[in-house]
Amino acid sequence: MFRTTLIVAATALLAACSGPTNRIDMAQITSDLQLRALVSSAMVRTVSLPTYAASEEFAFETPEGFISSDSAILWADDPERAVTLLITRNMNGILNATIGPDPWPFVGLPDVSIEVRVSEMLAGADGIFRLRGQFFVGGDGIDFPNRARSFDIARPLVGEGLNAVPQAQAAALMELSETIARSIAR
CATH of the domain at 138: 3.40.50.10610
Does residue 75 lie in a domain region?
yes
Does residue 148 lie in a domain region?
yes
Does residue 128 lie in a domain region?
yes
User: Which pLDDT value is given to residue 159?
Assistant: 84
- End-to-end Cα distance, the chain: 66
User: Which pLDDT value is given to residue 20?
Assistant: 60
Does residue 10 lie in a domain region?
no
Domain coverage including residue 99? 23-183
Does residue 14 lie in a domain region?
no
The answer on pLDDT for 5 being more than 60 is no
Q: What is the mean pLDDT of residues 87-91?
A: 98
Give dist(CA 182, CA 98) in Å, integer: 15
**Number of domains within the chain:** 1
pLDDT digits (tens, 9 = 90+) for 8-50: 333 333 344 455 678 888 888 999 999 999 999 999 999 999 9
SS (H, E, C) the chain: CHHHHHHHHHHHHHHHHCCCCEEECCCCCCCCCCECECCCEEEECCCECCHHHHCCEEEEECCCCCEEEEEEEEECCCHHHHHHHHHHHHHHHHECCEEEECCCCCCCCCCEEEEEEEEEEEECCCCEEEEEEEEEEEECCCCCCCEEEEEEEEEECCCCCCCHHHHHHHHHHHHHHHHHHHHCEC
Does residue 104 lie in a domain region?
yes
User: Which pLDDT value is given to residue 8?
Assistant: 31
Give dist(CA 155, CA 175) in Å, integer: 10
CB 85: neighbour CB atoms within 10 A? 18
Does residue 18 lie in a domain region?
no
The answer on pLDDT for 3 being more than 60 is no
Mean pLDDT of the chain, nearest integer = 88
pLDDT digits (tens, 9 = 90+) for 102-161: 999 999 999 999 999 999 999 999 999 999 999 999 987 678 889 999 999 999 999 877
Does residue 118 lie in a domain region?
yes
User: Which pLDDT value is given to residue 28?
Assistant: 86
